Amino acid sequence: MSSRTVIRHGLVITASDEIHADVLVEDGRVAALATPHAQSWTADRVIDATGKYVIPGGVDVHTHMELPFGGTHASDTFETGTRAAAWGGTTTIVDFAVQSVGHTLREGLDAWHAKAEGNCAIDYAFHMIVSDVNDETLKEMDLLIEEGVTSFKQFMAYPGVFYSDDGQILRAMQRSAENGGLIMMHAENGIAIDVLVQQALARGETDPRHHGEVRKALLEAEATHRAIRLAQVAGAPLYVVHVSATEAVAELARARDEGLNVFGETCPQYLFLSADHLAEPDFEGAKYVCSTPLRPREHQASLWRALRTNDLQVVSTDHCPFCFTGQKELGRGDFSKIPNGLPGVENRMDLLHQAVVDGRISRRRWIEIACATPARMFGLYPKKGTIAPGADADIVIYDPHAEQVMSAETHHMNVDYSAYEGKRVTGRVETVLSRGEPVIVQREYTGRAGHGVFTPRSTCQYLN
């Protein structure tokens, strides 16, 4: 069924431009942009965006819906998590399918397709967590790339679960140098951290704040350095996930100054929260347990600076929610048993807009780090991440003046707390289109599970 929508009189913001323009959407794609009043477009639907921003839907390249982890499952399903994403102005997620040790990549990927298919409100894609590098796995990487799963996460942390040793990492990187895949690294020295965990517990240090103390910034930096040099030896690009420490940013900046294809993301929790939250009394700190951990407040300045200098290129959420009741509580009396992860898929676009309001980043940089670069980095551009003729009409009408207070009372994520409870921000999503279909209209949900489809990706489009 052919349909036409016109979005009138908004300020269209992309990573490269801010223009007052009307946008014509036809059959799910952007058909044209034109100066207001220049065209007499007829349409089935007219959206008045006067005084509003018209921005590309957010692209969140780091989510974990339904992830089995720490003896439980992340509390958002693909249905609840993608609906919450839409409420927050995100129209594409890239979630992590998991290879369990002893199983193939194919088995892991099939399981993730089964979880997501027919359930998503917005479009989705997959990275693959590689937990077991062997000859077969390496061959399977080539096949996955042909199917549009073009990036692979490895872990230097979590021995016995997701952990890869340096040899396994090098082998996967060598393969990705040949097949065009992008290795994403969880860079923490998990072997050393596990020693510090056991020593802390033996001293009776069992509270959530010790989670932050044992997962030292230096051990993030050391692993980041090692990952960079392994990638350099392999001749492969590298993307470091959830960067949180000043010392790790310095490693990335140095490698980039050397001209290496080394990239990094950070997440809103590292920009807006700190180790002070982990130290909240009565086990409340458990709400803030994630890895890499929240750092002392001083680290935030390095992250903001790196976002300005492009030593960090992407802000994604690492959305991995666990309810306080019954899930985070598994770690009462032993911080190492608190499931790791924070909710945030609904909050990212608003928190980064607040950074615009606060003068930390420009409006175009907001769109660059939250939409355009993640799409480019992971082979989704220009289908996703921009507003241009031919692009999918994944479009958000954003009210830059609306005030809101973030709260578990009002959010749509399936989790019983908000990491940003009580935080006031300026700016709010008003209307969301996914491939031209209204998902949120004037803050009413009009979407449906099953609208979102698997979106195959090309290889990285961001290499130097």
Helix/strand/coil for 91: strand
Closest listed residue to residue 173, CA positions, set 165, 183, 164, 163: 183
> Contacting ligand URP (CB under 6 A), which of 58, 190, 268, 341?
341
| CA–CA dist 137, 119 (Å, integer) | 28
- Window 86-125: residues binding ligand URP (CB under 6 A): none
Q: Which is nearer to Zn ion, 95 or 207 (CB)?
A: 95
In the complex, the smallest distance separating the C-beta of residue 321 from ligand URP, rounded to whole angstroms, is 10
Instruction: Confirm if 145 and 178 have CB atoms less than 8 A apart.
Output: no
Q: Which is nearer to ligand URP, 328 or 376 (CB)?
A: 328
| CA–CA dist 89, 209 (Å, integer) | 32
# chain residues binding ligand URP, by CB under 6 A: 9
> 290 contacts which partner out of Zn ion, ligand URP, none, CB within 5 to 8 A by kind?
ligand URP
Q: Which is nearer to ligand URP, 64 or 428 (CB)?
A: 64
In the complex, the smallest distance separating the C-beta of residue 292 from ligand URP, rounded to whole angstroms, is 7
Nearest residue to Zn ion on Cβ basis: 186
Q: Which is nearer to ligand URP, 164 or 179 (CB)?
A: 164
Q: Within 13 Å and on the Cβ side, how many CA atoms surround 368?
A: 17
244 in contact with ligand URP (CB under 6 A)? no
185 in contact with ligand URP (CB under 6 A)? no
Q: Per 3-state DSSP, what percentage of the chain is helix, strand, and coil (rounded to 5)?
A: 35, 25, 40
64 in contact with ligand URP (CB under 6 A)? yes
In the complex, the smallest distance separating the C-beta of residue 185 from ligand URP, rounded to whole angstroms, is 11
Binding track, positions 274-313, relative to Zn ion; x by CB under 5 A: ----------------------------------------
> Contacting ligand URP (CB under 6 A), which of 320, 355, 371, 440?
320
Q: Which residue reads 């997620």 in tokens?
A: 93
| CA–CA dist 321, 15 (Å, integer) | 29
Closest listed residue to residue 220, CA positions, set 200, 197, 242: 242
| CA–CA dist 399, 428 (Å, integer) | 5
290 in contact with ligand URP (CB under 6 A)? yes
| CA–CA dist 433, 44 (Å, integer) | 14
319 in contact with Zn ion (CB under 5 A)? no
Binding track, positions 168-197, relative to Zn ion; x by CB under 5 A: ------------------x-----------
In the complex, the smallest distance separating the C-beta of residue 282 from Zn ion, rounded to whole angstroms, is 27
**Amino acid at position 256, single letter:** R
Beta bridge partners of 93: 60, 124
Nearest residue to ligand URP on Cβ basis: 340
Spatial neighbors of 341 by CB under 8 A, at least 6 apart, are: 64, 67, 69, 74, 289, 290, 318, 319, 320, 321, 322
> 340 contacts which partner out of ligand URP, Zn ion, none, CB within 5 to 8 A by kind?
ligand URP
**Could you report how far apart the first and last alpha carbons of the chain are, in Å?**
42
| CA–CA dist 24, 9 (Å, integer) | 12
In the complex, the smallest distance separating the C-beta of residue 5 from ligand URP, rounded to whole angstroms, is 37
Q: Kindly list the residues in this chain that would bind Zn ion in the complex (CB under 5 A).
A: 186, 318
Q: Kindly list the residues in this chain that would bind ligand URP in the complex (CB under 6 A).
A: 64, 186, 242, 290-291, 318, 320, 340-341
